[in-house]
Amino acid sequence: AGAGAVIIVNTEDAALPATLGETPGVVPTAAVQKTAGEALRDGQQATLLLATTIQKQTSRNVIAETSTGDPDRVVMAGAHLDSVPEGAGINDNGSGSAALLDVAQKLGAAPPAGQKVRFAWWGAEEIGLVGATRYVESLSEQDRARLALYLNFDMVGSPNAGYLVYDGDDSDGLGGQPGPAGSETAEQVLTDALVAAGVQGPEGTAFDGRSDYGPFIEAGVPAGGLFTGAEEKKTPEQAQKWGGTAGQSYDSCYHTPCDGLSNIDRTALDRNVTAMGSAIGRFAEDLTGIPPR
């Protein structure tokens, strides 16, 4: 529970002493003010719930697209802007957001591209992919069908970096799910782009919907993305080819206060941004391997 957390004695519990509240289901002020210890001291066998103050907040997606390119075949790339409240969220996901901004600035507003390229910086990923879900829901059926491909970048500078590509066809035996046809092309192009950026043997990672591509694949849009790893541990074989520390998390500061400015492997971030730029550029020019929808 964050700041402003209160302990509420659950008045919906039928076994509660009447002194806690007159109306079942309504938490009386006195109960809210009681701590768990106080309730126990007072001999109340209450069910104790931890509750966080609910605040209504507005979150926004930031979307920008090229003025050029075929509007009927849009290549989208996105990264979430929000973090968990525990920390600044520099690797998760300042890294993906900044990398995507760099690619967008270098591509420019009016590249001579075949496809329109649309960038999205999502809000409210951490509370359940809310920004991306609302975006996909908000499109007309026709505009959804215009999406040729979605590429996602969530955590691309982990301090003990893995070089991982979403396993879009679920052929790598990593769990997750096979994505819509074309997701395997995204996986292949991103893998080749990492190799060209100097990475030895990039590996697949579960395509399980744990980030903003989830609502896109649910809508049938082929998708892919890069990831340098969160709480999972680097294997000895991975440390051998990529460096870093075997047996330690890719990002031991994942969702904690230490996800600050020092929580970035700049070499990993650099290779990822290079690979992002070349993959986005490839699909802006050439949609070979991405089926028409």
State the Cα–Cα distance between residues 195 and 189, nearest whole angstrom.
10
Residue from 74, 154, 179, 269 binding ligand PHE (CB under 6 A): 154
Given the complex with Zn ion, which of 84 and 145 has the nearer CB atom? 84
State the Cα–Cα distance between residues 142 and 118, nearest whole angstrom.
16
Name which of Zn ion, ligand PHE, none residue 227 binds, using a CB cut-off of 5 to 8 Å depending on partner kind: ligand PHE
Q: Is 259 in the site for Zn ion (CB under 5 A)?
A: no
Name which of Zn ion, ligand PHE, none residue 75 binds, using a CB cut-off of 5 to 8 Å depending on partner kind: none
Subset of 191-230 contacting Zn ion (CB under 5 A): 204
Subset of 92-121 contacting ligand PHE (CB under 6 A): 92
Phi/psi at 166 (5° precision): -55, 130
Q: Which residues are catalytic?
A: 125
Q: Is 171 in the site for Zn ion (CB under 5 A)?
A: yes
Given the complex with Zn ion, which of 167 and 265 has the nearer CB atom? 167
- Give the angle 127-133-137 at the CA atoms, nearest 5°: 150
Residue from 115, 133, 160, 211 binding ligand PHE (CB under 6 A): 211
Name which of ligand PHE, Zn ion, none residue 171 binds, using a CB cut-off of 5 to 8 Å depending on partner kind: Zn ion
Q: How far is CA 218 from the centre of its chain?
A: 15
Buried b (16+ CB within 10 A) or exposed e, 34-60: beeeebeeeebebebeeeeeeeeeeee
CB-based contacts of 222, cutoff 8 Å, min separation 6: 148, 149, 150, 168, 179, 180, 181, 182, 183, 185, 186, 290, 291
Given the complex with Zn ion, which of 79 and 104 has the nearer CB atom? 79
Distances (CA, A) of 149 to 116, 186, 216: 11, 8, 9
Instruction: Give the nearest distance from C-beta 22 to ligand PHE in angstroms.
Output: 43
Residue from 227, 242, 250, 283 binding ligand PHE (CB under 6 A): 227
- Give CB contacts under 8 A, 24+ apart, made by 255-262: 255/84, 255/86, 255/87, 255/92, 256/86, 256/87, 257/86, 257/87, 258/87, 259/83, 259/86, 259/87, 259/88, 259/89, 259/90, 259/91, 259/92, 260/87, 260/88, 260/90, 261/88, 261/90
Subset of 93-112 contacting Zn ion (CB under 5 A): 93
Instruction: Give the nearest distance from C-beta 168 to ligand PHE in angstroms.
Output: 13
Residue from 172, 192, 208, 232 binding Zn ion (CB under 5 A): 172
Residue from 79, 129, 169, 282 binding Zn ion (CB under 5 A): 169
CB 254 within 8 A of CB 80: no
Q: Is 184 in the site for ligand PHE (CB under 6 A)?
A: no
Instruction: Give the nearest distance from C-beta 125 to ligand PHE in angstroms.
Output: 6
Q: Which of the ranges 70-78, 84-92, 238-246, 266-274 carries the binding residues for Zn ion, by CB under 5 A?
A: 84-92
Given the complex with ligand PHE, which of 115 and 249 has the nearer CB atom? 249
Binding site for Zn ion (CB under 5 A): 92-93, 154, 167, 169, 171-172, 187, 204
Binding site for ligand PHE (CB under 6 A): 92, 125-126, 154-155, 210-211, 227, 230
